[in-house]
Amino acid sequence: MASNSTLLAFLCLVGLMVGASLAQLNPSFYAKSCPNLPKIVNGVVANALRTDARAGAKLIRFHFHDCFVNGCDASVLLENAPGIDSELDAPGNQGIQGLNIIDDIKSAVEKACPRTVSCADILTIASRESVVLAGGPSWIVPLGRRDSRTANKEGATNNLASPFEDLDGLKAKFSVFGLDSTDLVALSGAHTFGRSRCAFFSHRFANFNGTNRPDPTLDPAYREQLRRVCSSSETRANFDPTTPDKFDKNYYTNLQGLRGLLQSDQELFSTRGADTVAIVNRFAKSQDEFFKSFGRSMIKMGNISPLTGKKGEIRLNCRRVNSPPRADEGHDVM
């Protein structure tokens, strides 16, 4: 009972923090200081997509992996430095790509609005623009986040969902941040575009979980298709073999056909008696339902424990914290 009471108290605290965060963030935060911000971000993301069809998926992955560690504070972008043990070195961030795109966005934003827009807000806006440019929904983005001066590699190691995770594990990691089963299924729908390394799903081909058999929730024809793609563990396969660069509801119809790429994807549909099955079926039936829920869940996730007001800073370079200002300098980025 004591442990249950402690967990309940912690979840209530997280809920209060998310609610307070929402009150402090404002979609019009940059209306005067950087009125063209969404247009600037959209332009850079669109340009990146011309040479890299996976650019949008890379950006939204950064946003997810940022918010699940200490909240949405751009800590995931910090590279190793004195006092900084980078989250990029955590197991869940191995192979993560797209920092160069974030650098380009930050450079364009700094040129238009110097020392004004946080990297955390850039990640949030870039995620929305990535989805929109791939044919997905738009949503109102509350803004006003500031950037952390610290990273949390241990938190990244423990908090990020694993591709090998079962449904109970996924639910536990989401519920800590006030995200429910609908949020879990909706946000997992971001796997409707992008790719994953074979190392994250090739264990499903044979001797799955020590059974000496393939994963029974992986369609045999799809399994052989993936096996041919995976010439090495570093090879990447599309999450959606049909429309790999389009944001649509195919992720859910793939789950219904046992064509979820990752074990953690297929768990949403193939876990007997789970409440997530009905949600998958609902989204597979109606793209409009998926899009509405995805937007709501992205707002909810984006409001996890942001730094606001005087907390944190506005980084000038998203990969490193600002140098302490000299006595004769202003403090506009602190």
Letter for the amino acid at 268? L
Sign of CA dihedral 174, 171, 220, 283: negative
- Burial call 315-331: b when 16+ CB within 10 Å, e when fewer: bbbbbebeeeeeeeeee
65 is catalytic: yes
Q: Is 66 marked as binding a ligand?
A: yes
Q: Is 331 marked as binding a ligand?
A: no
Q: Is 243 marked as binding a ligand?
A: yes
Q: Is 267 marked as binding a ligand?
A: no
Phi, psi of 233 (to 5 degrees): -70, -20
Which position among 63, 65, 203, 331 bears the catalytic label? 65
CA triplet 10, 15, 17: central angle to 5 degrees? 95
Q: Which of 84, 15, 24, 11 is nearest to 306 (CA)?
A: 24
- In angstroms, the CA 39 to CA 128 distance is 12
Q: Is 240 marked as binding a ligand?
A: yes
Ramachandran region, residue 305 (left: φ > 0; alpha: ψ -120 to 50; beta: rest): left
Q: Taking a C-beta distance cutoff of 8 angstroms, is the pair 109, 34 a contact?
A: yes
Q: Which of 293, 334, 301, 53 is nearest to 189 (CA)?
A: 293
Q: Is 313 marked as binding a ligand?
A: no
Q: Is 69 marked as binding a ligand?
A: yes
Strand pairing class (236-238; 195-197): antiparallel
Burial class (CB in 10 A: 0-12, 13-18, 19+), 233: exposed
CA triplet 26, 30, 31: central angle to 5 degrees? 95
What's the Cα-to-Cα distance from 269 to each of 105, 181, 188, 278, 282, rounded to whole Å? 37, 12, 12, 8, 11
Q: Taking a C-beta distance cutoff of 8 angstroms, is the pair 160, 75 a contact?
A: no
Q: Is 76 marked as binding a ligand?
A: no
Q: Is 332 marked as binding a ligand?
A: no
- Annotated binding-site residue numbers for heme b: 191
- Annotated binding-site residue numbers for Ca(2+): 66, 69, 71, 73, 75, 87, 192, 240, 243, 248
Q: Which residues are catalytic?
A: 65
- Annotated binding-site residue numbers: 66, 69, 71, 73, 75, 87, 191-192, 240, 243, 248
